[in-house]
């Protein structure tokens, strides 16, 4: 048996199929994989199960508070979506599912930005903006011609 090619016999494998020994992966057990997924908690926290679970609960609660604040800001004044994504980024420091959601979101935003830079799409957007602005200016002109500079709640019915 060739020991150089058969690392699985000597390297422990976690329940999810990931090798946890430092020989197979070049890192200590429990550290995030090279693809950037996994916990980013300090090593001494990851080494103690109770401390790591407490850390994860704390990260989850803080992330949840930020996401809820973002959801509240959606109908109210404030940067709702930015705050929601900040909460997701907090979760992504500890949870793989949040890291995957953020990767998917970044990919979709990049694709949308590339589509928005397409000259045909830009011309269409400029045209729609010009038409919308013209309609608003026309309506404002009609209002000012009929009522003058009177605020709507002080208009007297004739």
Identify which has the larger pLDDT, 26 or 40. Answer: 40
Q: Are residues 120 and 82 in the same domain?
A: no
Torsion of CA 114, 116, 122, 128, to 10 degrees: 170
Question: Do 58 and 91 sit in the same domain of this protein?
Answer: yes
Instruction: Identify the H or E element spanning 138.
Output: helix 119-147
Q: Does residue 38 belong to any structural domain of this protein?
A: no
Banded model confidence at residue 127, pLDDT cuts 50, 70, 90: very high
133, 96: one domain = no
| Contacts of 19 by beta carbon, 8 Å cutoff, 6+ apart | 7, 8, 11, 12, 13, 25
Domains: count for the chain: 3
The pLDDT assigned to 158 comes to 64
Is the residue at 92 inside a domain?
yes
Strand partners, 13: 19
Q: What is the pLDDT of residue 34?
A: 53
| Domain, as residue range, for 60 | 44-105
> Do residues 120 and 98 both lie within one domain?
no
**Residue 107: what pLDDT?**
92
- Sorted by sequence, the CB contacts under 8 Å of residue 125 that are 6+ apart come out as 116
Is 24 a domain residue?
A: yes
Residues 91 and 58 grouped into a single domain: yes
Reported as a single tens digit per residue, the pLDDT across 104-121 is 988 998 998 888 788 888
């Amino acid at each position: 048996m060739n020991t150089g090619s058969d690392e699985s016999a000597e390297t422990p494998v976690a329940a999810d199929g990931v090798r946890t020994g430092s020989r197979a992966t070049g890192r200590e057990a429990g550290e995030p994989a090279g693809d950037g997924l996994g916990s980013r908690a300090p090593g001494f926290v990851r080494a103690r199960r109770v401390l790591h679970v407490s850390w994860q609960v704390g990260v989850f609660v803080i992330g949840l508070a930020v996401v809820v604040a973002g959801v509240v800001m959606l109908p109210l004044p404030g940067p709702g979506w930015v705050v929601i994504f900040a909460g997701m980024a907090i979760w992504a420091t500890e949870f793989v599912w949040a890291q995957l959601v953020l990767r998917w979101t970044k990919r979709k935003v990049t694709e949308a930005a590339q589509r928005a830079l397409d000259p045909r799409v830009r011309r269409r957007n400029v045209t729609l903006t010009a038409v919308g602005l013209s309609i608003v200016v026309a309506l404002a002109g009609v209002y000012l011609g009929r009522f003058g500079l009177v605020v709507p709640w002080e208009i007297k019915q004739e």
